[in-house]
Chain A
Amino acid sequence: KAGVTQTPRYLIKTRGQQVTLSCSPISGHRSVSWYQQTPGQGLQFLFEYFSETQRNKGNFPGRFSGRQFSNSRSEMNVSTLELGDSALYLCASSSGQGAFWYEQYFGPGTRLTVT
């Protein structure tokens, strides 16, 4: 079974620009969660989508948004980029229902650098 894939793997953007990151979950998984990882704050939860609906959202400003498509693929968008948005953005998928649905499997991440 193929794992979680994320594209692109690396991005360099300028302050004020916007960016869209993409995530394809493990086949059959319907829940996708996004996390931001920085050296200072560690892994922090951004939001989770299940069946195209946002089920939960972390404590991030409204510049961070996401969506999920009918095939469970997900995108996250960051508008008006700031230097502090430089981070590794990780996507994780889980089955979303049934036994052991909490088990999340992570993709390789997208390394975003804002200059």
Chain B
Amino acid sequence: EDQVTQSPEALRLQEGESSSLNCSYTVSGLRGLFWYRQDPGKGPEFLFTLYSAGEEKEKERLKATLTKKESFLHITAPKPEDSATYLCAVIDGSGNTGKLIFGQGTTLQVKP
């Protein structure tokens, strides 16, 4: 069964303290892995898509990487405005479908 596990569940950082969030996945034939950011009471905001092992993408203080079994979201010198829940998702293994399987998310709090 396709599965996505994110760790840690919650992370508290001081402003400027870099760290990484982990997303482990089990899917039959990875077709794409997505990172989203979600603020309380809002819909997820698209951040990155990664399609193959070794791929990396960056946006401001965020960098996403992908291996054959997991993805990391690296946050460099975070600011309080980076506080949010970060969600990881994969395309359902059966393919040709608009179904994403989500992890439970990592809630990041960055203190000034």
Contacts and interface: CB of A to CB of B under 8 A. Distances in A.
B41 A111 contact: yes
A43 interface: yes
A58 interface: yes
A64 interface: no
A90 B67 CA distance: 29
B7 to A, nearest CB: 14
A33 interface: yes
Contacts of A104: 34, 46, 98, 100
A12 B101 CA distance: 28
Interface stretch (A13-21, A48-56, A75-83): A48-56
B99 A108 contact: no
Contacts of A35: 100, 102
A4 B42 CA distance: 12
A32 to B, nearest CB: 8
Contacts of B89: 43
Interface in B73-90: 87, 89
B46 A33 contact: no
Interface residues of A, number: 30
Interface string A75-111: 0000000000000101010101000101111111101
Give the secondary structure class of B's interface.
loop
Give the secondary structure class of A's interface.
strand
Interface string A13-46: 0000000000000000001110100000011110
A106 B91 CA distance: 15
B93 to A, nearest CB: 12
A30 to B, nearest CB: 10
B59 to A, nearest CB: 14
Nearest to B31: A102
A55 B95 CA distance: 11
Interface of A: 4, 6, 31-33, 35, 42-45, 48, 50, 55-56, 58, 88, 90, 92, 94, 96, 100, 102-109, 111
10 contacts: A42-B105, A43-B102, A55-B97, A56-B98, A56-B99, A90-B44, A94-B98, A103-B34, A109-B42, A109-B43
